Chain A
């Protein structure tokens, strides 16, 4: 495996881990979860 493949695979694994952690992490307080203008962030 060349160095480019290794680094690219590492980036993909880190990204996937972040998504999974965010998915299983308990939600914080209500609101839309985005800066949609609803007053909650």
Chain B
């Protein structure tokens, strides 16, 4: 027997964007790939395994969503190549499961007919039939199957309904390829297809005679309104930030207390010495300075999941389309840029959905200015220094909102300049946005996603941040010198680095310790907190009591050698501005080089963003000083 004959048969999931392909993929394979109630979530092929009712193993491919097989964008081309067997590393699929949104059959059947015409055995998965029936659509899957000559399985993948029926349809031998009777072999194939679909829908997907204004339509009248839509958008975003600051306070207090108890325990069990200092100041201080913000990270991803899953994000994309066009970008850039608020890496990768190469490059270039979640620990540490929590969470939320707005608006300005420099496209690219129905959030997926992101954050803190904290502690401890904490730190390697850096960062309002923390965070932004925790473990003006306080309290007590406070409102704003603009993420640069096809772009982006961050921070501090702040 040939080895090839033992390899599992391949089935490919294809369909228009946002039809639930990834939800079906997860249900079939037991995977936990990211899903969302908006188009373009999948930009790469995902592969998994499932079994037929007879126990035969099948390889399942989840292809990026596409509207037609005449693919204009890189991600759609991937789907087409996968179907035709032209994609390296993937065999031509033995069966295609074409996933259709039952509510939008007229539009989605266009792609289905093109797939069937390829003469590959095909099954139609009629997904989200519950929503279609609620809207009054009367579906007849049996009629649909008879007219198209392929099996049709009605289902609701998100609730696991219809999965067994689909698996039964996957049993061997696969159904034979249907004859595409609607393709007459003439130039007007598209018109013939359209007429065929219209007639088919009259038979098998009948709409109620009178158009009913649904609750979703009424809601859209408000949420997509040119004025009220923006009011709702800003209100929702503000509520998210306020929620993050308000709800996270209690669990943050628990983490800080636990950290204090462990540090106190270590100090009472061990005599003073290097190992105790390493454990308390290096490990607990460094890792704790990042982990304490876990509640905020978890809440942010929970709110993002809620907005994505409910269908609101597509409405936000619709609103943003006008703003994006002024920046020389189309609405297609919204999803990559929105993804970058979580992490710039999937955002840069999601730019594959953009058909225009020039627009894609501009999107990749500005993506890191969308404030990613790695910046949050820095913001959450610094913002309460500017506004104490007694002043109210809403004020802190307002500052965070301003930070996000500043980053985003600056990115749009740069995109506009860059698009002008790159010149116009030679071919026209159109943006089509499908507004998904409002859905009740899929709690299971939201919580799994939040758990995954929270776990990833803790894992990073427990590995990379832990390692860097240990090394930072060594750099701030050795070589040793006689004297108190401040003198010992000045004599250490880190103290000497700080002395070299200080003249460069002093015009921004920072001392050598803050400068060193910025330098160490070039690999990953969160290291800034760990560095500050190690560097500010002993404050020259404070006694033993202060070293037990939280990092924020110690920063508030920090002073210049002349006794003036180190962190003034102006220097804090200068620091915030620096972190809004600086590109301090090595993995992002690696992915940008790969996606843009050149290291020139990645290095240019790094140089531009670092230079801009420095200049902006310098401008803020110096102008602020001139104005008497």
Contact = CB atoms under 8 A, between A and B. Distances in A.
Interface class of chain B by DSSP: helix
Interface string A4-16: 1101110110011
A12 B594 contact: no
Contact of B452 (A4, A7, A35): A35
B274 interface: yes
Contacts of A24: none
A10 B579 CA distance: 34
Contacts of B459: 35
Nearest to A16: B471
Contacts of B471: 12, 15-16, 19
A15 B470 CA distance: 7
Nearest to B467: A15
Contacts of B46: 39
Contacts, number: 76
A2 B275 CA distance: 10
Interface stretch (B315-323, B338-346, B564-572): B338-346
B346 A4 contact: no
B34 A34 contact: no
A11 B449 CA distance: 34
A38 B342 CA distance: 11
B368 to A, nearest CB: 13
Contacts of A26: none
A36 B343 contact: yes
Nearest to A4: B273
Given A11-B470, A12-B474, A38 B276 contact: no
B470 A39 contact: no
A3 B270 CA distance: 12
Contacts of A37: 34, 342-343, 346, 449, 452-453
Nearest to B272: A4
Given A30-B594, A34-B456, A4 B587 contact: no
A18 to B, nearest CB: 7
Given A32-B346, A37-B453, A11 B278 contact: yes
A35 B455 contact: yes
B180 to A, nearest CB: 33
B278 A36 contact: no
B345 A4 contact: no
Contacts of B474: 12
Nearest to B45: A39
A35 B273 contact: no
Contacts of B349: 32, 38
Given A18-B467, A19-B471, A39-B33, A7 B346 contact: no
A34 B590 CA distance: 13
A32 B44 contact: no
A5 to B, nearest CB: 4
A15 B274 CA distance: 16
B460 A34 contact: yes
Interface string B275-290: 1111000000000000
Interface string B459-481: 11000000100110110000000
Given A5-B275, A8-B274, A32-B345, 15 more contacts: A2-B273, A4-B271, A4-B273, A4-B275, A11-B275, A11-B278, A12-B470, A12-B474, A19-B467, A19-B471, A30-B594, A34-B345, A35-B455, A35-B456, A36-B345
Leading 8 A-B pairs by shortest Cβ distance: A4-B273, A4-B275, A35-B456, A8-B274, A32-B345, A12-B474, A38-B346, A36-B343
Interface of A: 2-5, 7-9, 11-12, 15-16, 18-19, 30, 32-40
7 contacts: A4-B275, A8-B273, A8-B277, A12-B278, A12-B474, A33-B590, A36-B343
Interface of B: 33-34, 42, 44, 46, 270-271, 273-278, 342-343, 345-346, 349, 449, 452-453, 455-456, 459-460, 467, 470-471, 473-474, 587, 590-591, 594
